[in-house]
Structures are given as structure tokens and as C-alpha cells.
Amino acid sequence: MASSTAFSTSPPFLSNTNTTTSNRILFHINLSNHSTHLFSNARKKRLIRTSISAKQGNQNPLQYRKLGDSDLQISEITLGTMTFGEQNTEKEAHEILSYAFEHGINILDTAEAYPIPMKKETQGKTDLYISSWLKSQPRDKVIIATKVCGYSERSAYLRENATVLRVDAANIKESVEKSLKRLNTDYIDLLQIHWPDRYVALFGEFTYDYSKWRPSLPFAEQLRAFQELIDEGKVRYIGVSNETSYGVMEFVHAAKVEGLPKIVSIQNSYSMLVRCRFEVDLVEVCHPNNCNIGLLAYSPLGGGSLSGKYLDINSEAARKGRLNLFPGYMERYNISIAKEATIKYMEVAKKHGLTPVQLALGFARDRPFMTSSIIGATSVEQLMEDIDAFVTAERPLPQEVMADIESVFKRYKDPAIL
């Protein structure tokens, strides 16, 4: 197994230095036909390599933040891995992982359900690809976050003998044991509940359906199962994902009353296209002076939509994108007015001399309640551009940029709602 002789909270190349460069790759936007004219691939790659400044000597302009009440100091970018084993080969996964960690990212996010789309034939490949890469890495320098599935009647294949998945002691224990084996490690740094055991509005569903309430496992019972794994040294910290204010507060309350482990993080969708669900009340709940729950935001680019690549459906980037590769996947970004909002945000980016990616990731980066943005990439070039957006976009984004973002938001509040 990968060495686990010591826990480390210090990321590589840690520096408090903020570096802003003026090297930017400008995407010339032709809004009349809603398409994006890109540089030739060779020129684009050359310019990206020139402008990347994620690692300068022993200094790294990526910032690191404490995750909730834990002692984990994590990079402001978390590497998402859900494409490993579906859109990415093992070799490609290793290249992406190596580039990420060589350039200051110190945390990766996986799940027992990965890769996506969920399929019995590919389930677990993501972890196996990470495991083979992890063999050449110092384990204490890699923060591993993974997830146990919530309630599911369709994914019983994840367990040895189950007809439905629940977040109970037996399911959690089996999930963790299998994850540890696939990852070939002794412990998980952060174990998250992928989605709740109870009914909640999930994955694009905006409002709670009163009629879908169902009995669920008590919050304290779920925490007791995690307590056992923490006591055994197999899990360090726990968190939630796709969770609501009610769920977060019940978990925190149960931990306080019963003397059980407290959740330290929440992994929810957040971007310029998906703001309301978190900003309305979860911001207050998760505030450091209240429950102190760190936000790990997934889809900060709205599933890639905010890059503008899906505006021209015939472009190579759009054809290779997961929204087109997997019919029905995240279709809320394709069949809603999200495209109209994306065009407006791209106008803002062009006005201020930013790429669409710089605008979207800079916005997420600068939110006061953000701990880390989860960014997935299907190529090193894509990851290079994303890291570049973090380290080259002015920090924080100027007030006039934020004012223009808010003007668009007032017209298009969560436009991906169907």
C-alpha cells in the first residue's frame, strides 16, 4: 500500500505570495453567431505554456485554505477525477494528476460511483487509475477525498448483497473497505456522503417535492458509522455533498448533542449559472462563525458551459464535450436559458480583457465562502488553462467586473433551472 507514515497539512510549494501576470489568452468572441474563434491549436498551446505561472521556482501563487474545522490546508483548486476510466485513459489520468500536483494542487476528489456516467462495467476504474499513480507519490502529500453513495435503488451493484443503497453502517463500511482496496491506501482523508439518504431535490431539480418525502436513517446513526471508521484510522474527516441547510444543521446538531464527529465540508454545485441554492441560506449556515463548513464547489464552469464551447454545437470542443457525448447528462445547461446567460457573461469577459474561463473561475475563486473549486479536465492542456485562470486573473476581480457579473445575474438568476 502507499506509504502513510505521517499526515501532512502543508501543501507543496506553499507560499503566501499572490502573483498577477498580464499574460492572458484572449478568446475573440463573435456574438452575432454565438461562436468562439480560437487560436490554432499549436499557437494556443504555445501561448498557454508561455503564460502559465502556477509554479515559479519554489513559490506557488495558488492559495491554501483550512477546510472547516479540520487541520487540512487544501489548495483553492481540487482536482476532479470523474472522467478517469470513461473519457480518459490511465496514461492520460496519470499525466493530468502529475501536472496538477506539480503545480500546487494538493487534493483530489473521487467517488466509489466514478467514472461518470455511472455504469457497472466501469465502476471503480477512477480509483484504480489514481492508485497506480499514487504508487510513485508520497502519500502524506496527497489529500484524498472520496464519496460513499447515498440512497439509490438503481446502483445496488456497488454492494455484495443489496437491493437498495443506504447510508447505514453496513453500506458505509463496505464502501470504505472497497475504496481503500482500490486506492491501495490505508486511510481516506475526507469521506463524503455523495447525496443524502433522505429525499432531496438533486442534480438540477430546484424545488423540494413535498410528496417524495420518505423515511430515512437518523443523522446520529449515520455519524456513529463514520465514528467507527475514524476510530479505526481508516477515515480522517467527514463531509456531505448535494446537501441542504436542513441536512447540514441536523448533522452538526447531532454531532454536538451525541459527541459524534462533525462534518467539515459540503460539496455542492456552484457557479455563475448556479448560485441561488447556496447563496440563499447555506452561506449563513456554513459561515465560519456559525457551523464552519467548508465549501468544495463542483461544476464552477457549469459543466463546461461557461467556457462557451457549447454555443457552437458543431465545434470540435462541443462534440467532444460530455454534454454531447452522454445524451441527457446535465441537459439543464443545454435546454434552458443558460446559453443566453453564458453569452452575456462572455460579453462581460471580453469587455474586461478576460477569457470566459478566467471570468468564471475568478468569480468562484473570490467568493468569501469558497474553500476550493473542483475542476476536472480531460487533457493537460485544459487543466493548464484552468490553473492559468486562477493565477493570472486579477485577485480579487475588480469591482467593475463584479458589478457587470451582478447585472447579468439580476436578469438571469440560476438560468439552468428547467
Going from the C-alpha of 416 to that of each of 98, 302, 351, 387, 405, the distances in angstroms are: 34, 9, 24, 26, 16
Rounded Cα–Cα distance for residues 365 and 372 (Å): 7
Q: Is 218 left (phi over 0), alpha (psi -120 to 50) or beta?
A: beta
Catalytic residue among 64, 114, 270, 412: 114
Is 208 an active-site residue?
Answer: no
Sequence letter at residue 140: D
Residue 305's nearest CA partner among 279, 341, 280 is: 341
Question: Are the CB atoms for 415 and 336 separated by under 8 Å?
Answer: yes
Sequence letter at residue 302: G
Q: By three-state DSSP, how is residue 178 classified?
A: helix
For residue 329, how many other CB atoms are within 10 A of its CB? 17
Rounded Cα–Cα distance for residues 236 and 72 (Å): 10
Kindly provide the b/e burial profile for residues 262-293, where b requires at least 16 CB atoms within 10 angstroms of the residue's own CB: bbbbbbbbbbbbbbebbbeebeebbeeeebbb
Sequence letter at residue 247: G
Residue 175's nearest CA partner among 153, 192, 200 is: 192
Rounded Cα–Cα distance for residues 256 and 337 (Å): 43
- Strand runs labelled E in 76-171: 77-80, 107-109, 143-148
Question: Are the CB atoms for 359 and 348 separated by under 8 Å?
Answer: yes
Enumerate the active-site residues: 114
